[in-house]
Chains A and B, each alone.
Chain A
């Protein structure tokens, strides 16, 4: 089972995406988005990206979704809709689940299948890890992110400036007239 852990996590990822894409009340959609963020962090961690998984939890879930949470609490209704209380929501949820189930069964059916939608998906490369053989004593991903401050100085300036401009734009938008 541990060899399939990434596949199982990606199936749970898609199921929770179906959960909020079928659009129940936003409170429940936010809860399911938190679950999908946690499972996505698990996928990233399974490939060895510990810093980027922590980024998902801290900044995405802890920053952005908390803001979504209290904005939803501000603009919500008295009887929020669950998935089973409305036929449209339930129908969309079941259609999404069925499509994911079909995809998962097709993938699990054989070892040498090949799917071609726009690109060729091939399951044979899953158990091979591309490796140059010389990784040293440091984590490559953490060093790549640390390069944000040496090679990517202009990126830092642009993103910082756009965040500042974004704050000013939001202040002007919410000022209204």
Chain B
């Protein structure tokens, strides 16, 4: 395992922590999710290119397809929240009143 992977793992861990720790906007959590997908793509691509793992080169493309699906779904949920409440603040998601 080469040393470049340490930085990419660190990037994945940082955006994972960013996803789990909310601040005010729902949109910034979706951006952290996109960051996780980007770091996974880079890690997968670098592993495939270093080891000449030719037939697995289609796997990053499939990862990108499913990441696009999930980003679009997240954005549509954010649009619905924003239509209902005016902004996308996380403190608006409080229907459970206990």
Binding site for B on A (CB under 8 A): 6-7, 10-11, 13-14, 17-18, 20-26, 29-30, 33, 36-37, 40, 43-44, 47-49, 52, 55-56, 59-60, 63-65, 67-68, 71-72, 74-75, 77, 88-89, 96, 99-100, 103-104, 107, 115, 119-123, 125-126, 129-132, 140-141, 143-145, 147-148, 151-152, 155, 159, 162-163, 166, 169-170, 173-174, 176
Contact = CB atoms under 8 A, between A and B. Distances in A.
A68 B18 contact: no
A121 B14 CA distance: 19
Contacts of B56: 144
Contacts of B35: 17, 20-21, 33, 36
Size band of the interface chain B makes with A: 35 or more
A131 B11 CA distance: 28
A64 B73 contact: no
Interface of B: 1-8, 10-11, 14-15, 17-18, 21, 23, 25, 27-28, 30-32, 34-35, 38-39, 41-42, 45-46, 48-52, 54-58, 60-62, 64-69, 71-73, 75-80, 82-83, 87-88
Contacts of B79: 71, 74-75, 174
Name the residue among A88, A131, A174 with the largest chain B CB count within 10 angstroms: A174
A67 B31 contact: no
Contacts of A56: 38, 41
- A-B pairs, 7 with minimum CB distance: A144-B57, A21-B18, A10-B7, A26-B27, A144-B54, A47-B49, A148-B58
